[in-house]
Structure 1
C-alpha cells in the first residue's frame, strides 16, 4: 500500500565525476521512495553527462550541473575543455545553492562526498541546516582503503564537518559486511549518527524492456560506466580467442564512458569472436543481469547489489587503483563465499580467465552462501523517511496502490 504525504520534498546530490554509480544509487533510492509515498517529490542534482539517458518515475526529476571529469591520476578537469575548472566549480556551486533555495527540501541527501566535489555543497548544507532541513550523508558500505580515506578527510577536515552538519549517516550495507570508517578516528557524535541500512535491493521494471534483452543462455560482462573497464573486457576476449573449448555465449556491455579508441578496438575484436555479442550501453542493466546465467564485473557497488538481488553467480575482477574500494568489496565477498575473485594480473592470464569463465555458470548462487546477503536497505530507508516526514508535519495517510 502506498502512503500519501502533503507536498513533501527531498533533494539529492550526486557529484558524478567518474562512472554511473552515484547517479544510479540516487535514482534507485528516489524511485523506491516515490513508489511508497504519494505526494513526495524528489529532485536529483547530478553532474553525470548522461543523466538524461535514464528513465525517471513520475515525481522524480534531475537538475544537471556542468560536468567535471575525474582523471585516472585522481585529478579533475572540466568536461568542456574551453572552460576553466575553477569557473566550472563556481557554476556548479551556484546552481546547487539556487536549486536548494528554490526547491526548499524537507530532506537533503548527499551521496558519498560529504562536502561535495571540492567542497561545493558546504555552503548549501549551512543554508539548509539553518532553515531546519534534515541533512543526510549516504555512504557506500566501503569507501576506500582506510589510509587513503583518512589522508583525504584529514586534509579537508571532513570528519569534523560531518559531525557539524549532518543529522544522519546512512551506510548502504549491513554492519557485518564492512564498516566504511574502519581504521579512522571517528568522533562519538558521528558514530551515533551512523545507520547501517543494508544493501539496496534492485528489481526489474515491469513497464520497460531492454532492447538488448535475450532469452538464451549467456553470461554478462559489464564494467559499469566503462571508463576504466577496457582491460577486463580485453581479458575476457583473449580467453575466448585462446581457448576454443570456451563455448559459453557472452554479452559484453562496454559502458558509456569508455574512451572512443578503446571502444572501437573492442568492437572490432569482439566482432571476430562468434560466442560474443558487444553492445555499448543499456539503461536497463537490471534486466540484463536478471536474465544472465552469471556475471563478470569489476564489482562496483551497484553491480554488486544487482548480483545479490538477482542471485547470480559472479566473477569479480576489481579495480585496484587509485581507489581500493572494489578490491576490498571483492575480497570481503569472496571471503564470505558470495563471489569468485581474480586480481587484475590473474585476469590478464588467458588460461586462468578461461577456466574461471567455464566455472562461472556452475558456481552456486550467492544465496547458497552463509555470507552477508541482507537486501533490506530500501525498505529501511522508506520507514526512516516516513517517520521523519511525519514528524515534520507532512501528514501520512494510507491509500490504495498506484
Structure 2
C-alpha cells in the first residue's frame, strides 16, 4: 500500500520521468525541460529523471530536479543495440536496467510517471515498473510522444512487435503529444482504440528559454549544430566544404560538434576549421546552447525535436539537414516544416546535398521568413499545457486518496 495513501499525510508532489536515451541527447533534454517547467510551476514539487544518457552528468539541473544514470547502451546505424560497458550482453544489461528502474520507483514513490516515447521502455524494461505503479500505489502514468515518431507503416510494425499498443491501452492515463495536430499526427497508422484517443492531449511544442542573460554578440554568426553529433558528420562536412569553396561566404559559422562527434572524424574537422582562419570556429559541447541560438543570425542544423524547438523558440531562420536512417522522423518533421514556411530543408531529394546547395542556402538565410511569420497559434504552448495537466493529475490523485 502506498504509505502516502495509507497515512493520508500530505507530502510534496513527486514526478518521475523516464527517458531511455540509447542515442543522442534528445530524450534527456526533453525530460530536463519538462522537469524544470513542472518544478518551477509548483515550488513544492520535485522531479527525478531516469536516463541512459552517457553525458547526463555534464548538464546542470535546477533545484528539486535530479537524475539517476542507467547503464548505457548504444544504438547502431542498423537500429540494433549493444551494451556500452560492464562486460555484459544486451539482455543482461536490460535486466539490470529494469531492476534499477523498478527499485528507484519503489523508493521514490512518484505521484506521476512521465514516460518518453517508448510505452514499454527499452526492450520492455519498463513493464515491471508500470505494473508496480499502476497497482496499489496508483501513480498517474503519462506517455509523452514527440511530434513525429516515424513513417506510419514502419511505426505500426514497430509498436506491434513491442506490444506497445496493448501497453498504452492498459497502463497510461494520458498521452501527451508535444506538437500540434495541424502540423503532424505521430499516431497516424497506429491502431489505437477510441478510449486511448480520448486520453490524448496535443500540448504544442516545448518552448526553450535562456537560463541566464545571453552575452552581447560582437559580430554576426550562423550557428551550426548537429545536436548530439552522433550522426552529424555529413552535415558538418557540407558546411565546412561550403566555407572552403566560397571564400566570400558569410557571416562566420560557429560550429558546435556535440558530445558524440569525436575521434578521427572530429580531428579531421578541427584541422579544416583551423585553415579557415576564423571564418568558422568550433566547440565540442555546450550544455547552454540556448544562448548560442539566441545570438545567431541564422541556424544550420539537423532535424531533431529539441533543435527544432530551439529554432521555433528563438524564432530563427534555419536550414535543416535531416537524417534519413535508421528512421525518417527528422525528414518528416523537416519536410512538413518546410511546407508550412517554418524552415528550409536540404536533403538527398530536391536540390540535393551538394556544396553549392549549402552555399546557396546559407546566403539565402537573411531572406527567409521567420517561423513566427508562418505559424503562431499555440505553437509553443507545450510547457504551459504540461504544467496544467500535472496540476489536474495531482488534484485527481488527492481526490482519490481522500475517498
Q: Same fold (TM over 0.5)?
A: yes
Residue range with higher mean Cα deviation, 176-185 or 121-130: 176-185
Q: Shift of residue 372 of structure 1? A: 6.8
1:57 matched to 2:62 = yes
Provide the C-alpha distance between the structure 2 equivalents of 1:369 and 1:249, rounded to a whole number of angstroms. 27
1:30 matched to 2:35 = yes
Provide the C-alpha distance between the structure 2 equivalents of 1:165 and 1:99, rounded to a whole number of angstroms. 19
Partner of 1:397: none
1:151 matched to 2:157 = yes
Q: Alpha-carbon deviations, 1:108-155, whole Å to 9, x = none? A: 000011100000001100110002110000000100111111111111
Provide the C-alpha distance between the structure 2 equivalents of 1:94 and 1:352, rounded to a whole number of angstroms. 50
Partner of 2:104: 99
Contact 1:215 1:291 in 2 (8 A): no
Partner of 1:334: 338
Q: Alpha-carbon deviations, 1:308-340, whole Å to 9, x = none? A: 010000001100111100000001000000000
TM-score (normalised: structure 2): 0.93
Partner of 1:294: 298
Provide the C-alpha distance between the structure 1 equivalents of 2:323 and 2:89, rounded to a whole number of angstroms. 30
Provide the C-alpha distance between the structure 1 equivalents of 2:22 and 2:262, rounded to a whole number of angstroms. 15
Provide the C-alpha distance between the structure 2 equivalents of 1:372 and 1:111, rounded to a whole number of angstroms. 25
Regions of 4+ moved over 3 Å: 344-348, 370-373
Q: Shift of residue 83 of structure 1? A: 2.2
Q: Which runs of 5+ in 1 are unaligned?
A: 395-402
Contact 1:65 1:95 in 2 (8 A): yes
SS in 2 for 1:174: coil
1:225 matched to 2:231 = no
Structure 1's 372 and 298: CA in aligned 2 closer, same or farther, altered over 3 A? farther
Partner of 2:200: 194
Provide the C-alpha distance between the structure 1 equivalents of 2:244 and 2:73, rounded to a whole number of angstroms. 37
Partner of 1:306: 310
SS in 2 for 1:57: coil
1:177 matched to 2:180 = no
Residue range with higher mean Cα deviation, 102-111 or 85-94: 85-94
Q: Shift of residue 218 of structure 1? A: 0.4
SS in 1 for 2:45: strand
Provide the C-alpha distance between the structure 2 equivalents of 1:267 and 1:148, rounded to a whole number of angstroms. 38
Provide the C-alpha distance between the structure 1 equivalents of 2:376 and 2:188, rounded to a whole number of angstroms. 20
1:168 matched to 2:171 = no
Q: Shift of residue 70 of structure 1? A: 0.4
Contact 2:224 2:254 in 1 (8 A): yes
Of the three residues 77, 81, 103, the one matched with 1:72 is: 77
Structure 1's 225 and 391: CA in aligned 2 closer, same or farther, altered over 3 A? same
Partner of 1:268: 271
Of the three residues 259, 273, 285, the one matched with 1:281 is: 285
Contact 2:227 2:258 in 1 (8 A): yes
SS in 2 for 1:44: strand
Q: Shift of residue 82 of structure 1? A: 2.4
Partner of 1:391: 396
Contact 2:301 2:319 in 1 (8 A): yes
Q: Shift of residue 347 of structure 1? A: 5.4
Contact 1:347 1:353 in 2 (8 A): no
TM-score (normalised: structure 1): 0.93
Structure 1's 373 and 347: CA in aligned 2 closer, same or farther, altered over 3 A? farther
SS in 1 for 2:398: coil
Compare relative contact order (CA 8 Å, sep 6+) and give the higher one, 1 or 2. 1
Of the three residues 139, 143, 166, the one matched with 2:145 is: 139
Q: Alpha-carbon deviations, 1:285-314, whole Å to 9, x = none? A: 111111101011111000101100100000
1:323 matched to 2:362 = no
Q: Shift of residue 6 of structure 1? A: 4.1
Provide the C-alpha distance between the structure 1 equivalents of 2:166 and 2:398, rounded to a whole number of angstroms. 31
Partner of 1:400: none
Partner of 2:95: 90
Provide the C-alpha distance between the structure 1 equivalents of 2:195 and 2:366, rounded to a whole number of angstroms. 46
